Structure formats: C-alpha cells, structure tokens
Structure 1
Amino acid sequence: MQSDRKVGVIWHTQGSGKSFLMAFYAGQLVRCPELENPTIVVITDRNDLDDQLFGTFSMCRDLIRQTPQQADSREDLQAILNRASGGVVFTTIQKFAPAKGETTYPVLSDRRNVIVIADEAHRSQYGFKAKVDQTSGAIAYGFAKYLRDALPNASFIGFTGTPIEATDVNTPAVFGDYIDIYDISRAVADSATVPIYYESRLARIELPEDQKPQIDAEIEELFEDEEQTERARLN
C-alpha cells in the first residue's frame, strides 16, 4: 500500500472471477493482525451489482468470518459505519451524496483500518474538482470526493476489467499502480474467452425532407459560438 492510502488496481477482464477475488481479498484482510479487525466497505455504482456482489460474499461467510451487511439508504449506511471495528459493508457510491440542501458529507469513520473495495473502478470514481452550477452558483463534487470525506483515513483498492488512463479520468491515479493485470488478450490466449472482432459499419439514417431544415437550424444554433474551423471539423 502506498503512503497516500492508494492500495492499487486489479485489472482482470470480465468473466475472470473478480467477485470471488474480492471475497478472497477480504478474507485475507480480516486475518491480518496489523489491521486489528478492519472494516471493509464494498462500493458499486448499480443496485444490481451491489446485490450480485453481496450474494457472492454471503456465500463466503466462513471465509470472511462474519455476515456481510447491505446498506439500504444513506441513513442506514451511516448507522452501519458508526462502529468501533469490524464489518463487511455493501453500498452503492450514490449513498455518499450530501443530503438535500447540504454541500458537505459528514465523517463516518476516521479509523485507519477501513478498506474500501471499489468494483468497476473505472466508473463513478472521479469528480475531485469542484463544479459550479451556472444557474444556481452552487458548488458540487463527484461521489468519490464525498466518499473520501466520509472515510478520510481509509485505504482504497480498485477492481476493473477496463481501466481508464485519460487526462481527466484516470483509474490508476485514483487507486494507485496496477497490482495484477489479466486483460482480454491473456484471457483469449488461455482460452478463457473467445476472441472479439469488430466490424466497422455506418448506420444509414433516413430523415423526412421537411424535417431537414429544422435539424440544420438546431445544429447551427448549437455551434453558433464555435470557430469556423471547428465547425468544419465537426461536420
């Protein structure tokens, strides 16, 4: 683990058993004496994924030495994390949004033995810079910022089959260096999955003649502030 609490990224392609790997990892964490009975928070960004992972961990109760809990609401999450130690907690990242009318998220635990496991870590894990609503002037951040406000001393590990390394969204920048990589090329080489082929095609769109002038006018309005060279590129 790095000093900035970034554990790293597990890049394993879809179908390689990430759910079980997360459970095995949690099983190792709870047995680590240095962590002194850690709290493990498993983060997803969709309810169906949350249910799926929760089901996998529930089958592994003996491995993780406890029964996992699934937060049903923001208030339920806050109550579950208000604990002295231990626990395997499942929640969607959206529950870390501030309450209506609030601009900050409260600290739920400042313990250092909180480990956050993020599934599909290439999604919904950004937004650390403030965004200003042009209408109201309100300042807001992404869920990942509020998550770290809630658990300021937690450590974070990301699991994904498709990491992103762009300027504004960068999975390793958020979670740390790659720990292990099992990408699609290795899966194909191992016959764990079949090759994927892409065929480029153009979708033919037929528009009624009487609608074309209206669409042209709307496009012109959208790009009225663009330079001519940029308009030409987009066309």
Structure 2
Amino acid sequence: VVTDRNDLDNQLFSTFSKSKDLLRQIPQQATSRKNLRELLSRESGGIIFTTIHKFNPGENGDNMPVLTERKNVIVIADEAHRSQYGFEAKIIEKNDEAGIKYGYAKYMREALPNASYIGFTATPVELTDKNTPAVFGDYIDIYDMTRSVEDKTTVKIYYESRITPILCSSFSSIARNVLRKALLV
C-alpha cells in the first residue's frame, strides 16, 4: 500500500494492523528504501505499507534500483490522483545546476517492474500530463456521492443562497479609513 504522506501511511498501517487475524498475516511498514527491499525479498506474501518517497533516486542522482522482480506484487496507491505521474522528463534549472527529473511514479515502476497497480482516489484527474485512468486503467468501481448518502457515510447538505443587506451608514467612511491606513503602511 503506497501513500504520499507519512500521516496517511501511519493511519492505514494502524487500521490494517488491527485486522491481522482477518488478513492472516502481519502487515509491515517500511522504514527506509533498504528496509523496503528486505520486505520485498520474500518469494510470496506480505502486506507492506510505504510512502512513494522511498522510490526517489538518491540525492547524488543514483538510479532507482529494482527492489524486486516478483510478478505477484500488487501495488495499491491511495490518493492516486496526487503523486502517480511524472513519466515524462522535466528539465530543471536550480542554483546554476541543471538536470532531468521524473516523477515518483516512474521511479516506482522501475523499482517494481512486474507489479500490478491499482489506484484509489475520490477525485480522479484526466488532464494531458496527469491522467489517473491512463496510469491505472479503467475504473474497477465507482463509489459516488449518491451511494455515499444512501450508505449514510455522507450527510446531505442543504444550501440556500441569501443576500444580507448591510445597514451601516458609516460603512463607507470606515472602509475608506481602513484603505487609507493600509496604503500608508
């Protein structure tokens, strides 16, 4: 299970850890790229939680190593609309240094070349350079707002737009004074 934030990684790991009897194995949380490689070195099994940042090449520009050649790896990317892009090279110039950079998704797929990928998101993106269905394939299931309200997961919100008149004869002079003071500062 791959997330893009430590707090989300911790939250999901904690939730899954409480279900280890149902899962029939103990979930593991990768603490480093090295630890992730160790966890993936098994021939089969394993429920591993990590952040996508562990798939970034090192600061010295080293290549992303293959972490496992296993074909029985399923990557579940939570919040898939946020960090699962960057397959195209971007030229960066920073502090008189230039280089080419890719997104985390490219590095993750290099590290897990034979894995299958499933993306979870409430807000899929379909833009030219960021396209959730293009990265993960067609939708497996859509849990829309109507179903969420029917399941009582979401409560209906009723909104009625109203314009409230402001009755303050000195409002204009107060606004002028505030603007005058703001421009002087």
**TM range, smaller chain:** 0.7 to 0.9
Please state if 1:65 is matched with 2:24. yes
Partner SS state of residue 36, structure 2: helix
Tell me, in whole angstroms, the C-alpha distance in 2 between the residues paired with 1:194 and 1:166.
30
Tell me, in whole angstroms, the C-alpha distance in 2 between the residues paired with 1:112 and 1:56.
27
Please state if 1:155 is matched with 2:116. yes
Tell me, in whole angstroms, the C-alpha distance in 1 between the residues paired with 2:160 and 2:137.
31
Partners of 1:187 and 1:193 within 8 A in 2: yes
Alignment partner, residue 110 of structure 1:
69
1:77 pairs, out of 36, 43, 49, with 36
Please state if 1:136 is matched with 2:97. yes
Tell me, in whole angstroms, the C-alpha distance in 2 between the residues paired with 1:84 and 1:189.
43
More relative contact order in 1 or in 2 (CA 8 Å, sep 6+)? 1
Normalising by structure 1, report the TM-score: 0.65
Please state if 1:95 is matched with 2:54. yes
Alignment partner, residue 81 of structure 2:
122
Partner SS state of residue 81, structure 2: coil
Deviation at 1:185, TM superposition (A): 3.1
Judged with a 3 Å threshold, the aligned counterparts in structure 2 of structure 1 residues 159 and 198 are, in CA distance, closer, same or farther, namely farther
The AA in structure 2 aligned to 1:154 is A
Partners of 1:130 and 1:139 within 8 A in 2: yes
Partners of 1:111 and 1:153 within 8 A in 2: yes
Normalising by structure 2, report the TM-score: 0.81
Alignment partner, residue 184 of structure 1:
145
Please state if 1:145 is matched with 2:106. yes
Deviation at 1:137, TM superposition (A): 2.1
Tell me, in whole angstroms, the C-alpha distance in 1 between the residues paired with 2:68 and 2:87.
20
Alignment partner, residue 173 of structure 2:
none
Please state if 1:51 is matched with 2:10. yes
Alignment partner, residue 182 of structure 2:
208
The AA in structure 1 aligned to 2:123 is T
**May I ask how many residue pairs the two structures share in their alignment?**
166
Partners of 1:103 and 1:140 within 8 A in 2: no
Structure 2 alignment gaps of length 5 or more? 162-177
Judged with a 3 Å threshold, the aligned counterparts in structure 2 of structure 1 residues 103 and 139 are, in CA distance, closer, same or farther, namely farther
Greater CA radius of gyration, 1 or 2?
2
Deviation at 1:81, TM superposition (A): 1.6
Partners of 1:131 and 1:140 within 8 A in 2: yes
Q: Cα deviation per residue 1:112-160 (whole Å; 9 max; x = unaligned)? A: 1110011111111111111111242211111110000000010000111
Please state if 1:173 is matched with 2:134. yes
Deviation at 1:62, TM superposition (A): 1.9
Structure 1 alignment gaps of length 5 or more? 1-41, 200-204, 212-235
Partner SS state of residue 120, structure 2: strand
Tell me, in whole angstroms, the C-alpha distance in 2 between the residues paired with 1:140 and 1:55.
33
Q: Cα deviation per residue 1:161-220 (whole Å; 9 max; x = unaligned)? A: 111112221111111101111112332344431235597xxxxx9683257xxxxxxxxx
Tell me, in whole angstroms, the C-alpha distance in 1 between the residues paired with 2:125 and 2:160.
20
Partner SS state of residue 84, structure 2: coil
